[in-house]
Amino acid sequence: MTCSVHRAILLADRLILLGVGLEGTLPDRVDVSIPDSAELQLPVVAQSAVSIAISRFATQAGHEAGDDSRVAFMSAVRLPHDLARTLITEGETIACRLVRGGVEIAAAELECEPMGAFLPYLAIELQLLSVEAERSDPPLGLFLKTLSDPASARPADFRIDFYSLVVDAGLIAHGWAANAGAGTSFFLLADCRLLVPDDQVAFNARPDVSADIHRKGGMEETRLHGVTIFEAIPGAPDNIQLIAKRADGIFRSAPVPLDPRQFARILNELHGPIPLPEQIRIASSPVFQKVVAGFTRTAEGTLRSFGPSRPAELTVILPFYRDDFFMLDHLASQRRVTVPAEFLFVSDDPELTQPMIAAIQSRGSDLVLPTRLLALSENVGFGAAVNYALRQVETDYAVIMNSDIYWSRFDPVAYAVGLLKAEPDVGVVGFRLYFEDGTVQHAGMELKPSSELGGLMVAVHPGKGLRPAAPVRGPVTHREVEAVTAACIVVRRGDFPDGLFDPGYVGGDFEDADLCMRLKRQGRRVMLVESDAIFHLERQSIRASAGHRFLTVMNCVRFNQTWF
Amino acid sequence: MVLDPSARHAERPLRVTIVSHGHPALSIGGSERSALSLFENLKAADDVLPTFVARAEPRHLGHDGDFGLFHGRTDEILWAPPAIDSFRVVSFSPDRLRRQVSELLANTQPDIVHVHHYGGFGADLFPILAEVGQVPIVATLHEYLAICHNHGQMVKVTGGLCHEEYYADCGTCFPDYSSGKFFLRKQLLLECMASVDRFISPSRFLADRYGAWGLPRDRIVVAENPLPASRTPTANGTAPRRSGGPVVIGFFGQFNPFKGVDVLLDAMLIVQSSLPPGAIELGLFGGNLEIWQPEFRAAIEARIAALGPAVKRSAYRNEEVIDLMRRVDWVVVPSIWWENSPVVIQEAKAAGVPVLCADIGGMSEKIRPGTDGLHFAAGDARDLAEKLLAIVSGEIETPHPPVPLSPIELTAGIVEVYREASAAR
């Protein structure tokens, strides 16, 4: 045999053939036939002569050893995306014919090796890749250059575990890899598209991984083992592969299935050890914001009606998520309502829908007001759920309430409705709220720069957790404030034809401050109704969160970019 | 016999429906026994027509209806209510409960409803009874169920005594529930209990605790639960004093972690090491050890085995209790929780036997040191042992308890509460 081709590698959308032959007998092109798909002609674009390497390469390729006149060659072509995808996903065999001077000099049938399976292990391969790297545009060029580093000659002793990936307009991946922060380059393969996250990678300490490395007697080069990668990806690939390149080798992950439902969870978990400046950098990144904005959670809504039917001027909107404990209290509270009203329970959690229906159906005698249940097919978050619910409302006024709000009397709410009726320039009315032990949960919010959040403006609750300076007793009153929490507010429905909350905020944070800022820019006023009758039994799990939740940082950055 | 002389000229007897969370024949417990005793005492009166309604499992009814009769007795009704939310202590199916109450009250036609324990029905039984029945509601408080999620014992899950309810502390005992949820639990229970016209508390201690918690104190009447008329103290006489032989102490009741039987056994082990064999004997009368956790059972069994022949253990029927008590020198009530008004103390008083009890809650209120018996530091086996040694040595003289009020006198006191509740409407 004077000439042969023996490897067909798919690097992203590029088909690369590697071959070897006697000097002077190399093909000038390779004709490739992909069954039922395409006929391609690939020019032979590179050749090299490295005697020792060639010798080993040739031996492996089935050539006789010891002939120094042999050279390796490489041929590459960029394939149409669909074709590359087919080759990768279906593992097609291709037929290659080596042609010189218009005459076929050799032929072979080869299985295409997807890039993930390919690791360059011979110097000649590395050299060929480096040549290809020089003539390829980024990101493939960069990738090939990285691969062709001689240190890549063996698989790295490297483990990576990404517990989840999310994709829609992009992806956010979060996980760990031992010593990830010590000079690791990351590449992402989304189907057959190669992506280089570049600046969109952040590292964080992972004491658990550190401990594991020490326990196993390994070398810890850095404490930064946690990795977060985000990247905009056009389309919606079926899976993502991660390629990590380190000084001591290269590692590829198994294909990771993508689960859009993990979006909120990942955002929730991106906190703690990631340093705050890194969190702010990520949240401020246009690429990241594009990924988040592209992630739109949509849900189908189903409405059911219970209880009596009668006209109402006020709708009490109550979204529920994760916990239906408070259903009973809200049902019982209907008897305390003193204006024509209806209740609209919102199940923003498919698992809660049946228990919520059961709770309503078992307490028929509590249903003294028209009552509806809006069941959403997916969890969309507080703001989106409220926006959805508001579209189902026909009354002039709406109370928006967290499920853990409890009113011992209704008169403050009736007062708030009266305020909206009497004063057209009032845009939203919130309430003084108490914790269960009688200390203040909310008495109006103030916007202040936060030294803990790099000077960004945040909404603070002055006096939270303290006894009110002067106990609020006697008649209900009101005063103007800078902002109010949306845990319990009253609005005019007609003021918000496009929804109450900006859906760009995720996880029920900053939406209320944003709403108040928006209203004030429109010349509206924000009011707080003072009474001793409304409690906010804020969940302990939220209070117990350690460190800055990334979601808070993300929403905070959005809030600051919008208003300051 | 007439229990309410002021109503002597009434055209018909007072119709009382007593609702109990169990029938003592089906589930043993002090509150069930109190409810049935009251029923039996009222039944003996000419001016009261009581009906006893006891919660029961559907299997006790023998069919799939909601009601049945206990052993065919027309005035002893068994009731299978819907399940309850054990945290909130309210019914999972209040609509169904309401339908059942309508049926029941249409059948019993009460002038007054006396709920002896709402635990098996849910506290929403009160507003439903009040709304459907339109009659006064009287409720006997037993333990601290509305105040404390730990079986109403006001004992921390870690074992220490709890002195007052505080939401954040409750959330520490039960981390699955936030302090806010404990707040809502209380609001709902208070709302339900607002439908009750009069509460009966068998001890001042319990009345004060519920008053401090939020029930209107002026609606809580302190009145002892009457024993069955057959336990009339005058009928029993005072316990004969035995001379010679070992000092015999008796424990009567349930072997459960709150009753302090382990404290008593530990004290016995200390005492036994200081006395010659045969100087003291312990009679353990009771049961239900088998329903508790293996660790608790094993700990009790190991102590009993270590004490050897100094401990005699047997189950007993309630009818025998007075006779059995009269065979011991002291009844020991070592409960490590507050107790309310333990029936065993009433029984000991009826038997004329002194009581050595823990110095907390309703126990210390009911036993006056030197008159009815003696106190020891709750949960303190060493202190109990010292008291026992002093009794054996004669250093502590055994008192002769005075004759307590009779069951009929106590029952008349309850009827007085009914009259007062009706008059206040």
- pLDDT tens digits, residue range B51-82? 999 999 988 888 888 898 999 899 999 999 99
Residue ranges with strand state E in B63-178: 67-70, 73-79, 84-85, 90-91, 112-115, 137-140
The alpha carbon of A558 is separated from its chain's Cα centroid by a whole number of angstroms, namely 15
If one compares A173 and A159, the residue with the highest pLDDT of the two is A173
Same structural domain for residues A269 and A305?
Answer: no
Query: Which DSSP category does B228 fall into?
Result: P
Same structural domain for residues B215 and B246?
Answer: no
| ipTM, two decimals | 0.74
Scan for tokens 């690429």, then name that residue.
Answer: A287
Residue ranges with strand state E in B315-391: 330-333, 355-358, 373-376
Same structural domain for residues B113 and B202?
Answer: yes
Distance from A125 to chain B by nearest Cα, in Å? 60
Same structural domain for residues B91 and B179?
Answer: yes
Same structural domain for residues A141 and A227?
Answer: no
Q: Which A residues, 350 through 409, put their C-beta within 8 Å of a C-beta on chain B?
A: 361-366, 404, 406, 408
If one compares B100 and A86, the residue with the highest pLDDT of the two is B100
Q: Which A residues, 268 through 327, put their C-beta within 8 Å of a C-beta on chain B?
A: 325-326
Provide the number of structural domains found in chain B.
2
Query: Is B399 a member of any domain?
Result: no
Chain B residue with CA closest to A405: the answer is B180
Query: Is A50 a member of any domain?
Result: yes
pLDDT, residue A53, reads 47
Contact B180 A363 (CB under 8 A): no
Query: Is B266 a member of any domain?
Result: yes
Domain hosting residue B40, numbered range: 5-229+407-423
Query: Is A289 a member of any domain?
Result: no
Same structural domain for residues A16 and A50?
Answer: yes
Query: Is A27 a member of any domain?
Result: yes
Same structural domain for residues B178 and B280?
Answer: no
What is the C-alpha to C-alpha distance for residues A136 and A132, in angstroms, rounded to an integer?
6
Query: Is B199 a member of any domain?
Result: yes
Do the Cβ atoms of A93 and A84 come closer than 8 Å? no
Distance from B183 to chain A by nearest Cα, in Å? 6
Contact B94 A362 (CB under 8 A): yes
Domain boundary among the residues A152, A173, A208 is at A152
Query: Is B311 a member of any domain?
Result: yes
What is the C-alpha to C-alpha distance for residues B319 and A97, in angstroms, rounded to an integer?
105
Tell me: pLDDT of A69 over 60: no
Binning pLDDT at 50, 70 and 90, where does residue A50 land?
very low
Same structural domain for residues A132 and A34?
Answer: yes
If one compares B244 and A556, the residue with the highest pLDDT of the two is A556
Same structural domain for residues B48 and B79?
Answer: yes
Chain A residue with CA closest to B180: the answer is A537
Chain B residue with CA closest to A543: the answer is B178
Same structural domain for residues A445 and A316?
Answer: yes
Chain A residue with CA closest to B189: the answer is A329
Distance from B48 to chain A by nearest Cα, in Å? 33
Chain A residue with CA closest to B186: the answer is A436
CATH number of the CATH domain containing A164: 2.60.40
Distance from A406 to chain B by nearest Cα, in Å? 8
pLDDT, residue B242, reads 60
Same structural domain for residues B80 and B169?
Answer: yes
What is the C-alpha to C-alpha distance for residues B70 and B67, in angstroms, rounded to an integer?
10
The alpha carbon of A281 is separated from its chain's Cα centroid by a whole number of angstroms, namely 16
pLDDT, residue A547, reads 46
Partner-chain residue, chosen from B92, B171, B179, that has the shortest CB–CB distance to A362: B92
Query: Is A79 a member of any domain?
Result: yes
Query: Is B27 a member of any domain?
Result: yes
Binning pLDDT at 50, 70 and 90, where does residue B8 land?
low
Same structural domain for residues B188 and B259?
Answer: no
Tell me: pLDDT of B188 over 80: yes
**B22-51, pLDDT tens digit by residue?**
999 998 778 898 999 999 999 999 899 999
Partner-chain residue, chosen from A362, A365, A538, that has the shortest CB–CB distance to B180: A538
Query: Is A290 a member of any domain?
Result: no
Same structural domain for residues B388 and B287?
Answer: yes
CATH number of the CATH domain containing A475: 3.90.550.10
Which two three-digit tokens encode residue A483?
């902002």
Chain A residue with CA closest to B166: the answer is A437
Provide the number of structural domains found in chain A.
3
**A401-457, pLDDT tens digit by residue?**
999 999 999 999 999 999 999 999 999 999 999 999 888 899 999 999 988 788 899
Mean pLDDT of B376-398: 94
Tell me: pLDDT of A328 over 90: yes
Mean pLDDT of A275-300: 78
Contact A435 B182 (CB under 8 A): no
Tell me: pLDDT of A49 over 50: no
Query: Is A235 a member of any domain?
Result: yes
Domain boundary among the residues A222, A253, A284 is at A284
Same structural domain for residues B244 and B217?
Answer: no
Same structural domain for residues A241 and A309?
Answer: no
Q: What is the mean pLDDT of chain B?
A: 91
Same structural domain for residues B370 and B412?
Answer: no
Query: Is B139 a member of any domain?
Result: yes
Domain hosting residue A559, numbered range: 301-563
CATH number of the CATH domain containing B243: 3.40.50.2000
Tell me: pLDDT of A92 over 80: no
Same structural domain for residues A187 and A267?
Answer: yes
CATH number of the CATH domain containing A102: 2.60.40.10
Query: Which DSSP category does B339 fall into?
Result: -
What is the C-alpha to C-alpha distance for residues B55 and A14, in angstroms, rounded to an integer?
78
Q: Does residue A535 sit at the B interface (CB-CB below 8 Å)? A: yes
Of the candidates B68, B121, B118, B114, the residue with the CA atom closest to the CA atom of residue B94 = B121
Q: Does residue A545 sit at the B interface (CB-CB below 8 Å)? A: no
Of the candidates A66, A47, A65, the residue with the CA atom closest to the CA atom of residue A5 = A47
Burial of A253 (0-12, 13-18, 19+ CB in 10 A): buried
Please report how many Cα atoms fall inside a 13 Å half-sphere around the Cα of residue B335, on the Cβ side.
24
Distance from A361 to chain B by nearest Cα, in Å? 9
Same structural domain for residues B242 and B198?
Answer: no
Write out the residues of chain B at the interface with chain A, using a CB-CB cutoff of 8 A.
Answer: 85, 88, 90, 92-96, 98, 166-168, 171, 178-184, 187-188, 191
pLDDT, residue A7, reads 78
Same structural domain for residues B212 and B250?
Answer: no
Mean pLDDT of B102-130: 95
**A217-263, pLDDT tens digit by residue?**
888 888 888 888 877 776 666 667 777 777 666 666 666 666 655 66
Query: Is A221 a member of any domain?
Result: yes
Query: Is B398 a member of any domain?
Result: no
